A and B are shown apart, each in its own frame.
Chain A
Amino acid sequence: GENVEQHPSTLSVQEGDSAVIKCTYSDSASNYFPWYKQELGKGPQLIIDIRSNVGEKKDQRIAVTLNKTAKHFSLHITETQPEDSAVYFCAASYTGANSKLTFGKGITLSVRP
């Protein structure tokens, strides 16, 4: 089955700096890669996703890049703000009615004011 690994497990950045979170996956059939943000006491919330027919996707301060050859994808957050502090999860899946999301173990991002 699919295995998703996330590195590092914690990340601390200064407000205004950029943060990069990397994930690797094992199943070459995976073609859908979402990123979720989880704040304390809440469920994960989708912040951006990418499908394998594109290499990069941006949404304001957030971008995701995908390298299918190397089987890794990354989340980039620019101009970080204290409210970006949360746990971030990457996931991978293939398309199909019986597919399921496989999540990484999460990374805790702390943005220092």
Chain B
Amino acid sequence: KAGVTQTPRYLIKTRGQQVTLSCSPISGHRSVSWYQQTPGQGLQFLFEYFSETQRNKGNFPGRFSGRQFSNSRSEMNVSTLELGDSALYLCASSLIPGGGEETQYFGPGTRLLVL
């Protein structure tokens, strides 16, 4: 069974631009969570989607948004990029929503650099 895939793997943007990242979950998984990973803050939860609905949201500004499609694939968007948005963005999929319900399987991440 193929794992979680994320595209692109690397991205360089400049301040003020916007970016869209994509995540394809493991086949059969309907829940997708997004995390931001930085050296200083570790992994921080952005949001979780299940059946095309946002089920949970972390403490990030409204510039961070996401969506999920009927095939469970998910995208996240960051508008008006700031230098501090430089990070590894990780996607994780699971069968059902809820961090404590089922194992979350992570993708390799998208490394975003904002100049």
Contacts and interface: CB of A to CB of B under 8 A. Distances in A.
Given A95-B98, A97-B96, A89 B43 contact: yes
Contacts of B44: 103
Contacts of A34: 103-104
Contacts of A43: 4, 90, 92, 106-109
A99 B99 contact: yes
Interface string B97-115: 1111101111111000000
B58 to A, nearest CB: 7
Contacts of A106: 42-43
Contact of A93 (B90, B100, B105, B107): B100
Most chain B CB atoms below 10 A, which of A96, A103, A104: A103
Interface residues of A, number: 28
Contacts of B100: 30-32, 93-96, 99, 101
Interface of A: 30-32, 34, 36, 41-46, 49, 89, 91, 93-106
Contacts of A32: 99-100
Given A41-B108, A42-B108, A43-B107, A97 B45 contact: no
16 contacts: A32-B100, A36-B106, A43-B90, A43-B108, A43-B109, A49-B103, A95-B98, A96-B100, A96-B101, A97-B98, A98-B55, A98-B97, A98-B98, A100-B58, A105-B41, A106-B42
